[in-house]
Protein backbone atom coordinates (compact mmCIF):
# COMPACT_ATOMS: atom_id res chain seq x y z
CA UNK A 1 0.00 0.00 0.00
CA UNK A 2 1.35 3.41 -0.95
CA UNK A 3 0.62 6.22 1.45
CA UNK A 4 0.11 9.66 -0.11
CA UNK A 5 -0.59 11.65 3.07
CA UNK A 6 0.32 11.84 6.73
CA UNK A 7 -2.12 14.09 8.52
CA UNK A 8 -0.85 13.59 12.07
CA UNK A 9 2.73 14.72 12.66
CA UNK A 10 4.43 16.70 15.39
CA UNK A 11 7.48 18.93 15.54
CA UNK A 12 9.88 19.69 18.36
CA UNK A 13 7.30 22.23 19.55
CA UNK A 14 5.45 19.23 21.02
CA UNK A 15 7.85 17.88 23.59
CA UNK A 16 7.68 14.22 22.55
CA UNK A 17 8.78 14.78 18.93
CA UNK A 18 12.30 15.11 17.59
CA UNK A 19 12.05 16.85 14.18
CA UNK A 20 11.57 20.40 12.99
CA UNK A 21 8.85 21.30 10.51
CA UNK A 22 11.42 21.55 7.71
CA UNK A 23 12.85 18.13 8.58
CA UNK A 24 9.34 16.66 8.42
CA UNK A 25 8.74 18.32 5.05
CA UNK A 26 12.00 17.00 3.62
CA UNK A 27 11.27 13.48 4.86
CA UNK A 28 7.74 13.59 3.46
CA UNK A 29 9.10 14.62 0.06
CA UNK A 30 11.74 11.90 0.22
CA UNK A 31 9.15 9.16 0.75
CA UNK A 32 6.77 10.60 -1.85
CA UNK A 33 4.00 12.03 0.31
CA UNK A 34 1.70 14.49 -1.43
CA UNK A 35 0.18 15.90 1.76
CA UNK A 36 1.62 16.53 5.22
CA UNK A 37 -0.34 17.76 8.22
CA UNK A 38 1.36 19.25 11.27
CA UNK A 39 -0.64 18.64 14.46
CA UNK A 40 1.36 20.11 17.31
CA UNK A 41 -0.40 20.18 20.65
CA UNK A 42 -2.79 23.04 21.32
CA UNK A 43 -2.08 25.51 24.09
CA UNK A 44 -4.35 23.77 26.63
CA UNK A 45 -1.99 20.79 26.96
CA UNK A 46 0.93 20.92 29.40
CA UNK A 47 3.61 20.27 26.76
CA UNK A 48 2.17 22.66 24.21
CA UNK A 49 4.11 25.33 22.35
CA UNK A 50 3.51 29.02 22.89
CA UNK A 51 0.45 30.47 21.15
CA UNK A 52 2.76 32.33 18.74
CA UNK A 53 3.79 28.97 17.30
CA UNK A 54 0.35 28.71 15.71
CA UNK A 55 0.29 32.20 14.19
pLDDT in tens, 12-54: 888 788 999 999 999 999 999 999 999 887 777 776 777 776 6
Q: What's residue 14's pLDDT?
A: 80
Q: Write down the pTM of the prediction.
A: 0.75
Q: Is the pLDDT of residue 6 over 90?
A: yes
Contact between 49 and 41 under an 8 Å Cβ cutoff? The reply is yes
Q: What's residue 54's pLDDT?
A: 67
Q: What's residue 39's pLDDT?
A: 87
Amino acid sequence: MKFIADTHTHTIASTHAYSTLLENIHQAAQVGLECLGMTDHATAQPDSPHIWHFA
